[in-house]
Structure 1
Amino acid sequence: MNLAILGAGAIGPAAAALAASRGHAVALWSPSGRGTAGMTDHIEAEGALTGRFSLRIAMTLEAALEGAEVALLAVPAYAHAALLPRIAAAMPPKMPLLIAPAAALSPLAFEALRAGLGPRAPVGGLATTPTTARRLAPGLVRIPAIRAAVDLAAIPAAAAPGLAAMATDLFGHECPVAPDVLQPALANANPIIHAVLALANVTRIERAEAWPQYELMTEASGRLMQALQAERDALAARCGLRVISLAESLHRASGVPRAALHAMGLAIAASGRSVNGPAAMDTRYVTEDVPFGLSFYLWLAARQGVAMPATESVVTVLESLWGRDLRRNALLDGLALEDLSGALRDGIGR
């Protein structure tokens, strides 16, 4: 297929390398231009995927979408509010968009932006990204792991099997079909794991120290992660959904056996897939995963009548440590959600 990847941080180039390795033609676009600065006509990958893979650098959004059959949005969730209207205006109605990860209700926000188009392609939401990745240089990306499976849902919900087959063709991982895009918004393990790691290692982050992320998933931090998971699972159940566990997420990402979280962290480190944790206070572990993860849970829980005291406490403490509001989610501002279940099932204006 011809694939347009919108976003050129670490995940976009890694997904480009993965798709190109499977025989697909890839165009890569950076919204700011910084992500593709210094790149030419290829991307080199090391780690779980090794090689040099051809791609096309697109200087504009329109150039990226030209000739594409499908697009993948791979930017931080905090960029969605500004970027989704641009994509909605430029993307042909018949071109499907995959959003990875489908943070909060970003697929529904995109659906609302295109409501006036009438019949159009579905929009898909993935629970997480096709790979983990670190950008090492303009044309070099390290891929510690390629995911074995990533849950996927669609708007309208009935389109999910077709989009799942497309995503599997592009990236190789299985795509278990979820009932609606609320499920992948809750299934992503990163908001819980990353928020707890940031909370437990804030002084290391503030001092820009190098610290091994998975080795520091200790028993104590694992207990807090499990407490947040229990509250998230109760919220999902209230919404009629079931989401995979944190252990299952780590298993899918790394291949290590399912076990207690701290044991899985040590196993990931022993396998050579460990990475250092963040070393700057503007880390996405907080600026993205809290507003569009934990705080989204709280927003939804307030509407479902579900108590989440541990999650509320973690968000409050992180707000104090980081000295900023971590609850505002601009993606939700423009959504009329009187019939959320109907919009998730049938779409808007179709």
Structure 2
Amino acid sequence: MRLAVLGAGAIGPAAAVLAASRGHAVVLWSPSGAGTAGIEGGVTAEGAVEGWFALRVAWDLADALAGADAALLAVPAYAYPALLPRIAEVLRLPLLITPAASLAPLALDAMLPGRGRPPIGAMSTTPVTARRLAPDRVRVAAIRAAVDMAAVPARAAMEMGALATALFGHASPAGPNVLQAGLGNANPIIHAVLALTNTTRIECAEAWPQYAMMTPAACRLMEAMAAERDVLATSFGMAVLGLEESLHRANGVPLGRLQDMAAAIAVSRGAVLGPAAMDTRYVTEDVPYGLAFYLWLAAARGVAMPVTEAVVTSLEALWGRDLRTNPLLHALDPARLDAALEHGIGRD
């Protein structure tokens, strides 16, 4: 297929080389242009994907989508409020959003014009984990074994899962709707706790191994937050992936206690370093578009999440900034969420 990858940080190029390694033709677009600067015809991958892969760089969004069979949106969630309206103006083909934080597929659906809208796939997490080593070099740390898939409208989940599997190779278990994908990503919980319990290391720009810092105490806090998230999901009649299963899928370590799995990842993958700057996405993305999103849902549903509330409040105090503003939610009515999850917003 011809795939347009929208986003050129680390995940976008890594997903692009994975798709290219499977025989697909890929064009890469950077919203700012900075992410594709220095790419001359292709990208070299190392790690779980090895080799040089041809990638065409698109001049603009319309150029990226022209002639494509499908598109993948892989940008930080905080980029969605500015970028989704631009995509809505030109989107005429199936789009996968990875990860589908904060009901981003529904927010985009509300922006799409007219009739005959394409399906929007909601991936619970990214198809790969990766780091950008140079403008034309990326390290693919791991390829997911499975990524839960939902869609707008909900009935398109199998179709969009088949598309994702064809592009990236992972299994795509179908979920009931995009809310499950939005709640199923483990990153907001794991990353927020790691940021909270290692704030001084981050502020002092220390090199610290994040999986080794998933100590029993940190894991207890993660588990308490995951239990609250489970109650929230149950209020919508669904179950979400546990933290242990998420780590298993991403890293291939045997299922067990969370702290034991983290220790096994630390041994198998070496010193995967945590963030070393206060502008880390672990806080600026995963709190407003993850934990604060949970609290927005919980308030509308009458579900108490005191531990999650305390973590968000503590991080706001430590970071000295508002971490609850989430523009994606402005166009969504929590009282009408059930119907929107099933059919989309304003679709035929």
TM-score band w.r.t. shorter chain:
over 0.9
Q: TM-score, normalised by structure 1?
A: 0.98
SS in 2 for 1:27: strand
Give 1:23's aligned residue. Answer: 23
| Residue in 1 that maps onto 2:60 | 60
CA distance in 2 between partners of 1:77 and 1:153 (Å): 17
- Residues 23-66 of structure 1: per-residue CA shift (max 9 Å, x gap): 00000000001101111111111111111111101121111111
Contact 2:300 2:334 in 1 (8 A): no
Is residue 103 of structure 2 the alignment partner of residue 105 of structure 1?
Answer: yes
**Residue in 1 aligned with 2:136?**
139
- The alpha-carbon deviation at position 106 of structure 1 amounts to 0.3
Tell me the distance in 1 between the aligned counterparts of 2:183 and 2:269.
Answer: 29
* 1:9–1:135 Cα contact (<8 Å) kept: yes
**Partner of residue 258, structure 2:** 261
SS in 1 for 2:116: coil
RMSD over aligned Cα, in angstroms? Answer: 0.9
Q: CA deviation at 1:88?
A: 0.6
* In 2: Cα distance, 1:290 partner to 1:251 partner: 23
How many percent identity over aligned positions? Answer: 65
CA drift of 1:349 comes to 2.0
Among residues 125, 128, 136, which one is paired with 1:128 in the alignment? 125
Superposed displacement of residue 144, structure 1 = 1.0
State the shift of 1:219 in Å: 0.5
* Alpha carbons 1:73, 1:98 under 8 Å: kept: yes
Where 1:223 maps in the other structure, the secondary structure is helix
CA distance in 1, matches of 2:227, 2:309: 13
Structural mapping, 1:224-263, within 5 Å? 224-263=221-260
What amino acid is aligned across from residue 135 of structure 2 in structure 1?
P
Q: State the distance in 1 between where 2:39 and 2:167 align.
A: 22
- Partner in structure 2 of residue 37 of structure 1: 37
* Structure-to-structure mapping, 1:236-315, within 5 angstroms: 236-272=233-269, 274-315=271-312
1:203-248 Cα distance to aligned partner (Å, 9 max, x none): 0100111111111110110000000000000000011110010000
Give the drift of 1:260.
1.3
SS in structure 2 of the partner of residue 133 of structure 1: strand
* Offset at residue 121 of structure 1 (A): 1.2
Distance across 2 between alignment mates of 1:167 and 1:152: 9
Alignment correspondent of 2:147: 150
Whichever residue aligns with residue 280 of structure 1, its letter is A
Asked if 1:328 corresponds to 2:342, the answer is no
Q: Is the 8 A contact 2:109 2:345 kept in 1?
A: yes
Rate the CA distance shift 1:194–1:33 in 2: closer, same or farther, 3 A. same
Number of equivalenced pairs: 347
Show structure 1 runs of 5+ residues with no match.
none
For 1:194-209, list aligned pairs within 5 A.
194-209=191-206
Cα shift readout 1:44-93 (whole Å, capped 9, x = no counterpart): 1111111111110112111111110111000000000000000010222x
Residues 1:166 and 2:155 are matched in the alignment: no
Deviation at 1:336, TM superposition (A): 3.9
